[in-house]
Amino acid sequence: MLTFLHISDTHISADPERHPAQHPNRGVESLLKTIDGLSFPVDFILHTGDVCAEPEAENYHQAREMLDRLEQPLYLLPGNHDSPRMMRDMLADGERRQVLGDDYRIINGYHLITVDISGADDPLTPTLPDGQIDHFAAQLSRTQGAPILVAAHHPFLRTGVPWIDDEARIQNGERLHELLAAQRERVAGVFFGQIHQVVTSFCDGITYNCCPSTWFNFTGYPGMELADADLDTPGGFNLVMIRENRTFVRRYSLPRLTE
Ligand SMILES: [Fe+2]
């Protein structure tokens, strides 16, 4: 069994003037406080990217200071706002805090495979090169019958919401999906961020879960060409429990911290 927290899109910033009415660091403070108060242990925390608001050193210093307060092992993926090099140089900390790329980890017998978009031509709407998709296929073949979790920053599949499909998705994510669908009995879930909203989608036996941003969410409706703020929904994260062949995902809302 496996219990973990899925967090994403923290957009940590050292600039106090960045969105002063709803500074992203307040979402992280609220997250840290909530995690500190949880009454159950978790095996790890998965961050699916956009750790910092911009790829600047002072932001990663700030992120390190905040993330140092987490006691659980943390796996971090770069998002389109991140610098993977700065993440590795400034956030990685041995086994305790790992920055993942196109990687593979075994945790309690579950195989976590991660997809890194930071090398793509356009990190906002990446098209993965053939070599990266082949690498993903090779990672999948290494799992040899074990249950699989997949994590990425972006969604893989079309949703019917134009701004998500065309402006915020892995443009050839269908190819990753086809590889996963061929192993559907073993895929416990795909976990992603980037679109700042709670979304669950189900296709060919694969469940895709997007967790909310910790500070700011968007809406997504049919026909929406542009992203729009969802000011009614607080920041949050997801608790994921995997027991045998069952995956349970629960959203946690974060109390808004005001100064
Ligand atoms: Fe983001």
Q: How far apart are CA 247 and CA 86, in angstroms?
A: 33
Indicate whether 49 belongs to any domain: yes
User: Which structure tokens are listed for 171?
Assistant: 């443009």
Q: How many domains does the chain have?
A: 1
pLDDT for res 258: 63
Output the CA 50–ligand 1 centroid distance in Å: 5
pLDDT for res 244: 86
Output the CA 80–ligand 1 centroid distance in Å: 8
Output the CA 41–ligand 1 centroid distance in Å: 27
pLDDT for res 18: 87
Indicate whether 248 belongs to any domain: yes
Output the CA 245–ligand 1 centroid distance in Å: 30
Indicate whether 258 belongs to any domain: no
Strand order in the sheet with 148-152: 104-107, 110-115, 148-152, 187-192, 206-210, 199-203
Output the CA 194–ligand 1 centroid distance in Å: 5
Indicate whether 259 belongs to any domain: no
Low-confidence ranges of the chain (pLDDT < 70): 257-259
Domain with 7 in it: 2-253
Indicate whether 63 belongs to any domain: yes
Q: How many CB atoms lie within 10 A of CB 158?
A: 15
Output the CA 213–ligand 1 centroid distance in Å: 7
Indicate whether 209 belongs to any domain: yes
Residues with CB under 5 A from ligand 1 (ion): 9, 50
Indicate whether 160 belongs to any domain: yes
Q: How far apart are CA 213 and CA 118, in angstroms?
A: 19
CATH at residue 134: 3.60.21.10
Output the CA 81–ligand 1 centroid distance in Å: 7
pLDDT for res 26: 95
Residue 11 region, left (φ>0) first, then alpha (ψ -120 to 50), else beta? left
Output the CA 174–ligand 1 centroid distance in Å: 22
Output the CA 144–ligand 1 centroid distance in Å: 33
Output the CA 135–ligand 1 centroid distance in Å: 25
Output the CA 30–ligand 1 centroid distance in Å: 18
Phi, psi (deg, nearest 5) at residue 167 = -120, -5
pLDDT for res 119: 87
Output the CA 13–ligand 1 centroid distance in Å: 12
pLDDT for res 210: 98
Indicate whether 86 belongs to any domain: yes
pLDDT for res 108: 94
pLDDT for res 221: 94
Q: What is the dihedral of CA 50, 56, 57, 60, to 10 degrees?
A: -20
Output the CA 220–ligand 1 centroid distance in Å: 15
Sort strands 104-107 and 97-99 into parallel, antiparallel or unpaired. Answer: unpaired
pLDDT for res 116: 96
